[in-house]
Structure 1
Amino acid sequence: MLLERIYDHDLAQASYLIGCQAAGQAIVVDPRRDIQVYLDLAARNSMSITAVTETHIHADFLSGSRELAAATGATLSVSAEGGADWQYAFEAERLSDGDTITVGNLTLTALHTPGHTPEHLSYLVTDGAVTDQPGYLLSGDFVFSGDLGRPDLLDEAAGGVDTRYEGARQLYGSLRDVFLRLPDHLQVFPGHGAGSACGKALGSLPSTSVGYERLYSWWGPYLALGDEQGFIRELLDGQPDAPAYFGRMKHQNRQGPAVLGARGPLAEMDATTVAAGVEDGSLVLMDTRPVEAVHSGSVPRSLSLPNPGKAASHGAWAYDPERDSTPIVLLAADAEQAGDYWDHLIRVGLDRVVGYLPSIEGLPAVTPAVVSPAELASTDRVLLLDVRGRGEHAAGHIAGSRQLNAGRVLWNQDSLPREGTIVTYCQTGVRNSVASSALRRAGFTVTELDGSYAGWRRWQEGQGHDAGHSAAASGVA
C-alpha cells in the first residue's frame, strides 16, 4: 500500500494519493485543481488513477475532482448525504454512509461525519493485503491534528443563518457516535494543517491518531463528561474571520468547477500591449514583487501579491471573478515562474490568466501613497482601517481604527467611504498591500501605514510610550 500526502502550503490543504502496488491502481482524495502533481506521482509509482473522491463540498479551494477524473477516466464519487440542499449538481457516483470504494486490495469505507458541513464524509482505509480491519482514517475537515472543522462557515461565507449551532451539535454527535468508537491505533490524516481558516487551532503535524485525540484534544473532556453545551460554546468561540471568497468556492464546488483541460505554458507578453491594456482597463497586472518594491513604484490599478507562497489566498482576496472578467497578466521572471503562479490562482478559480511580463519597465508608473507612523496622527483621513483578523484587532490595535479583514474588503465596499482618504494597516504590511491595491483598483483613495501595526508599535516604543498599553483594545492612543 502507498499513502502519499500532497500538501499545499498556500491554502494549508492536504490531498491524498492512496495506491495498491499489486494492482497498479490508485485513488486520489480531495485533489486540487492543478492536477499534474497527481499524474506525476502515479507515474513514478507505475500506477493508474482509477478513482477520485472528496470528503465534502469545499469552501476554501476549488476542487480538482472533476479535472482529475476527466484527465484520467477515473470514476468520480461524491457524498449523497446531507439532505436535498447539499446534493452535488454534477454527474458522479453517490456515496452514502457505509458505501465502499475498491482500489486493488484497498477498500475505502465512507463514514457520514456531519458537523463541518451536513454532507461530510470521512474514509476508513483498509489494506486487504494485510488485514480485514481498517488502519487509517482520512478525516477531511472533521478532525484535525489538535482541532475540529469549524461548523460556522455556512453562516460566515455561504449565506446561512444560525446554522452553526446545528452544525456544532452534529459535530458533537459525529465525535461521540463515530470517531470515538474507532480503535485508538487508527492513524488519522486530516484535510488541513496550521494556517487554514477551516478551524481556529489546527496543529502542524501531518497526522494524528484516534487515541491521541481522545486523550489530549481540547474537546476530549467535554465528550468524556457528556457536556454538549460546553463543547458547543468552546467550539464556536474565537473562530477566525472567513474570507469572503469562500462563498463562491462553496457554490462552484457544489455546481461543479469548470474543467480546464491541458494548459500550455503562458506566453511572455509585449510591454506595449500590456501598457495599452492597463491604460484602457482591458488588462490587470498582478504585481508579485515584495511590498518595498511596490512602494517604490508600481503600475496603476495593479493588484499586489507580495508573498509568492500565498498567491492563491491573496489573489482571491483581491480579484473576484464573479464581478470581474478582466484578463490577468502576471509579473514573473519567466514562463516557469508564471506557470507556478497560475497553478496557485486556478486553485481558487482565477482562471483568466493570459500571459506574463518579466518587468514593469515601459509600463505607466505610479507610487502608492504611504504614511509613516510619526505622520499618522497629522494625516487627514476619513477612516483608519485595520485589515487584520478579529482576534488580532481585539488583542491590540491603533486607537480609532475599524477592523475589516483583508479577505473581506472587496465585498464590503458599500460600508467604506468613497470620499476622502482611507489609511490602512495590517500586522507587517503584506496583507495591507493586497487589500489596499484591491481598494485602489475599486476607486478608493488609500494610504498605507508604513510598517503597519508592528512598525507603529516600534515607533511608539521609540518615543518612550508604553506600546502594549497604548495599542490596547481599550482605545488609548
Structure 2
Amino acid sequence: MFFKSYFDEELAQMSYMIGCQKTGEAMVVDPARDLSPYYETAKKEGFHLAAAAETHIHADFLSGARELANAEKDLKLYLSDEGDDDWKYQYLNEINHELVKDGDEIYVGNVRLDVIHTPGHTPESLSFLLTDEGGGSSVPMGIFTGDFVFVGDVGRPDLLEKSAGAEGTASKGAADMYQSVQRFKELPDYVQVWPGHGAGSACGKSLGAVPSSTVGYEKENNWALNHTDEKAFTEELLDGQPEPPKYFSMMKKLNKEGPSLEKERDVEGISVSDVGSYMSDEYMVVDTRPSSEFSNGHLKGTINIPYNRSFTNWAGWLIEYDQKIVVVASKETIPAIKRSLESIGLDDLVGYVDESEINGYGGLETYASITAEELENKFRGHEDYVIIDVRNDSEWDDNHIEEAQHIMLGKLKESIKDVPDDKTPIVHCQSGMRSAIAASLLQAFGYKDVLNLKGGFSAWKEHKEKVNS
C-alpha cells in the first residue's frame, strides 16, 4: 500500500493519497483546490488517479473534488449521502460518482475503506477506516477523520449557526459529536488517526501541531475523549470557540454547489501610475509586502495583508467575493499568491503592481508605530486619541487595556463607523501583526494619522509589569 499526506500551511489543511501498488490505482482524500501535488505524486509513483473522497462539505477551503472529477472522466468521486437535503452536493449530474452511507465499503485496488457516519462537526460528516487487504491485513491500519477528531481536539459544531445562521444547530451538533466520539472510542488503540487539519485551523479551538496520532493516544490525551457526561462535554465543546472567518459561509455554499471550473486567467501587470483607476468599490488593492515596508511608504487606498502564513485567512476576512483584486507584490510571487487566493474561491486576481515600483514613487502614505512607554506617557487618556484593540474575543476577555475599544480585526471594515472620526486611532493586537493590517485598513478608510502599538498587548503587559515591580 502507498500512503502520502499533504499539508497546506496557510490553511492548516491536510489531504491524503492512498494507493494500491498491485493494481496501480490511487485515491485522494479531501483534495485541495490546487491539484498539482497529486498529479506530481501519481506521475512519480506510477499511479492512475482512480478515485477521490470527501469526508464532508468543507467550510474552510475550496475543495478540488469537482475539478478533479471533471478532469479525470473515469475517476469516481465518493461523497456523503448522510444528512438531510440541505447537505447534499449539487453538481453530481456532471461527474462519475457514488454516494455512500454508514456501513458502505470503498475499494481502491486491494485497499478497503469502511465508511463511518460521524456527525457533529456537520450532519453529513464521514470518516473512512482503512484496511490494507492487499498487504495481507484483516485489521484496520488507520482512519481518515476529516474534521471529526483532530490531534488533541474534535471538530467544532457551531459553524453552521455562526457562519450560515442555522439557529439551534450548534447544540444539536455538539450532542451528535458526543455520540460519534463514543463510537470512535470503540476502535482499537493501535489505529492511526489522520485528521483533516492541524494547529492553526479555525475548525477547532486547540488542535495539536503533530500531524497524526492514534486512537489509544487520543483516548489518553484528548480532552473530548475523556468526558463521560454528555452535558459537560457539550458545554465545554461550545465554550470558547474562536470567531469563524467571514469566508467560511461562502466556502460551504461553493463546495455544496460546486466550485468554479474557470479560474484560469492571466494576471496583468499594472503601472504604479495607473493604480488609481482601480481605487473603487469594484476592486480591492492589496499590498502584500511586509508591514515594516508598507508603513514606510505605500499607495493611498491600499490595504496591507503581508504574504505569509496568515495571508489566506485575512484575505478571506477582508476581501469581498464580488470584488476584483489587484496586488502589490514581486512578479515572482504572483503564481503563489494566485493559488492562495483561489484556495478559498477568490478567483478574480486581475492585476499586479511590481513592488519595485513603489519605492521613490511620489505621494506615498506612511504610518507610525509607538512603544508601550509612549502610549502610557504621551497618548493614553488624551482626548484626541482612541485605543482600538483588534484581537479576538477570547483575548479581549482574558485581559485588555481598560479604556480601549474592542473591534476584532475581521469585523473592522464593517465597523468603521464605530471608530470616532474626530480622534486619532491607536491600534493594537497581541504582538503587532494584526494591528498592522488594521492600521492599513483605517488609513484606506480615511484615518490618516493612525498609530500602531509596537509589540502589541504583549509589550504593553510587559511594560506595566516593569512599572509595577
Flag whether TM exceeds 0.5 (same fold): yes
Q: 1:346: which partner in 2?
A: 342
CA distance in 2, matches of 1:154, 1:279: 34
- Deviation sequence 1:23-47 (CA, Å, 0-9, x none): 2221111111122111112111111
Confirm or deny: 8 A CA contact 1:285 1:329 kept in the other structure: yes
1:385 to 388, 394, 403: 388
2:233 to 221, 231, 234: 231
What TM-score, normalized to structure 2?
Answer: 0.89
Confirm or deny: 8 A CA contact 1:306 1:433 kept in the other structure: no
Q: Give the CA deviation at 1:412.
A: 4.4
Confirm or deny: 8 A CA contact 1:2 1:19 kept in the other structure: yes
5 Å matches for 1:21-420?
21-73=21-73, 74-91=75-92, 92-130=97-135, 131-176=137-182, 178-223=183-228, 227-260=229-262, 263=264, 266-273=267-274, 275-278=275-278, 283-321=283-321, 324-325=322-323, 327-335=324-332, 337-359=333-355, 360-361=358-359, 362=361, 364-368=363-367, 370-373=369-372, 374=374, 375-377=378-380, 379-380=382-383, 383-413=386-416, 420=423
CA distance in 2, matches of 1:319, 1:446: 24
Q: 2:457: which partner in 1?
A: 453
Confirm or deny: 8 A CA contact 1:307 1:430 kept in the other structure: no
Confirm or deny: 8 A CA contact 2:427 2:453 kept in the other structure: no
Q: 2:20: which partner in 1?
A: 20
- Deviation sequence 1:448-476 (CA, Å, 0-9, x none): 423122333344456x246xxxxxxxxxx
Confirm or deny: 8 A CA contact 2:289 2:305 kept in the other structure: yes
Which residue type is aligned with residue 181 of structure 2? L
Which residue type is aligned with residue 338 of structure 1? I
CA distance 1:378–1:235, change in 2 (3 Å): closer
Q: Give the CA deviation at 1:187.
A: 0.6
CA distance 1:21–1:424, change in 2 (3 Å): same
CA distance 1:194–1:50, change in 2 (3 Å): same
CA distance 1:283–1:149, change in 2 (3 Å): closer
Shifted more, 120-129 versus 280-289: the winner is 280-289
Which residue type is aligned with residue 55 of structure 1? T
The secondary structure found in structure 2 opposite 1:239 is coil
Shifted more, 119-128 versus 442-451: the winner is 442-451
Unaligned segments of structure 2, at least 5 residues: none
Confirm or deny: 8 A CA contact 2:379 2:385 kept in the other structure: no
Using the aligned pairs only, state the percent identity. Answer: 38
What TM-score, normalized to structure 1?
Answer: 0.88
Which residue type is aligned with residue 126 of structure 2? L
- Deviation sequence 1:75-111 (CA, Å, 0-9, x none): 2222111112222222153221122322211222221
Q: 1:469: which partner in 2?
A: none
The secondary structure found in structure 2 opposite 1:129 is helix
- Deviation sequence 1:192-251 (CA, Å, 0-9, x none): 11111111111111111111112222123323xxx1111112222222222222122122
Q: Give the CA deviation at 1:369.
A: 5.7
Which residue type is aligned with residue 318 of structure 2? A
Shifted more, 411-420 versus 125-134: the winner is 411-420
Q: Give the CA deviation at 1:125.
A: 1.3
Confirm or deny: 8 A CA contact 1:141 1:198 kept in the other structure: yes
- Deviation sequence 1:315-338 (CA, Å, 0-9, x none): 1122121xx42x322223233x11
Confirm or deny: 8 A CA contact 2:185 2:225 kept in the other structure: no
Confirm or deny: 8 A CA contact 1:14 1:190 kept in the other structure: yes
Confirm or deny: 8 A CA contact 1:423 1:448 kept in the other structure: yes
Confirm or deny: 8 A CA contact 2:284 2:326 kept in the other structure: yes
The secondary structure found in structure 1 opposite 2:436 is helix
Q: 1:8: which partner in 2?
A: 8
CA distance in 2, matches of 1:364, 1:75: 56
Which residue type is aligned with residue 170 of structure 2? R
The secondary structure found in structure 2 opposite 1:308 is coil
CA distance in 2, matches of 1:152, 1:381: 40
Which residue type is aligned with residue 203 of structure 1? G
The secondary structure found in structure 1 opposite 2:320 is coil
State the 4+ residue runs in structure 1 displaced beyond 6 angstroms: none
Confirm or deny: 8 A CA contact 2:279 2:301 kept in the other structure: no
CA distance 1:41–1:404, change in 2 (3 Å): farther
